Structure 1
Amino acid sequence: MVLAAALTATGCTSIRQQRGYIIDPLLYNGVHAGIDNERSVRDTLGDPTFKSQFGQNIWYYVSDTNLSGPFRRPRIAQHSLLAVTFNKAGNVVSTERDTGLDKIVYLRPNSDKTPTLGRERGFFEDLFGNIGQVGAAGASGNTDSGSNTAGGG
């Protein structure tokens, strides 16, 4: 009976999962503006989680700790972000550290449909909507198939 109670109690505990960049506080705090460049940041911290695609050259190092238990969705317990901004020469201009959960966005899918622009068509309109449309695009073209304009004649 005691063994069954112990197994049941361990089954209800949360599982910690580390996702993204694994933070080493000594290295994480070792990047400084005006001293480091792209190469030194890569040598110190490794490759970033992702880089900015537009605008300034910014490298992001993102770390999350998730907790999940049986019959529950995982939730983010800790979040940390390091954003390193570089100038055109590749030197560090600024670093920004954020450890709050306030910038996390939870996306929930609407349903099994993807919203699109335009009007919605029904089943029969989809099924029979193109009747009479075949050949309509070529109707305004040249219908005189007997003339040969490529030759000199």
Structure 2
Amino acid sequence: MNKRMKLGLVCAAATLAAGCTSIADHRGYIVDEALLQAVSPGLDNKRSVEATLGQPSFKSQFGPETWYYVSSKTGQKPFGSPEIERHTVLAVAFDAQGNVTSTDRNGMEDLAQIDPEGDITPTLGRERGLIEDLFGNIGRVGGIGPAGGGGQ
């Protein structure tokens, strides 16, 4: 093998290897451990939390006011679906006066995995065929009213 063929094979192998690497993506809040540790129950309030952590990803709509900071790191192999590699949720709860009452941090262990069942949604009841779908309601809705469509 001459030198050019070896160089060509090495370049081809490098190109193929580069195409097989995982694509990393970050979604949501960018976690800074020092800032997360700076939020303390009893010492901070809404204004200081917003100054330290910024706007939350979302706020609770019901119950005690809670701000959520959600962060996810995903990886995707070529021709594959993205998979979550790291997931963090910081929940900061406030009292009626706006003071921090608690902070709670959850990770991958609390992440719910939902596995859809293909293209069909299971339903209760019986299966109907095409003909029954087309003609099944004939005679069920009620009789035809008097001529002219008027009635009392």
| Cα RMSD, aligned residues only | 2.5
Mean Cα deviation higher: 6-15 or 125-134: 125-134
Q: Aligned match of 2:27 in 8, 11, 19?
A: 19
- Which structure shows the higher helix fraction? 2
Any residues of structure 2 matched to 1:54-65 within 5 Å, and which?
54-65=62-73
Any residues of structure 2 matched to 1:49-128 within 5 Å, and which?
49-98=57-106, 100-128=107-135
Give the share of equivalent positions with the same residue, in percent.
54
Any residues of structure 2 matched to 1:135-146 within 5 Å, and which?
135-136=142-143, 145=152
Question: 5+ residue gaps in structure 2?
Answer: 1-8
Whole-Å separation in 2 of the counterparts to 1:138 and 1:37:
68
Mean Cα deviation higher: 81-90 or 66-75: 66-75
TM-score by length of 2: 0.78
Question: 5+ residue gaps in structure 1?
Answer: 146-153
SS at match of 2:116: coil
Report how many aligned residue pairs link the two structures.
141
Whole-Å separation in 2 of the counterparts to 1:42 and 1:119:
53
1:38 matched to 2:46? The reply is yes
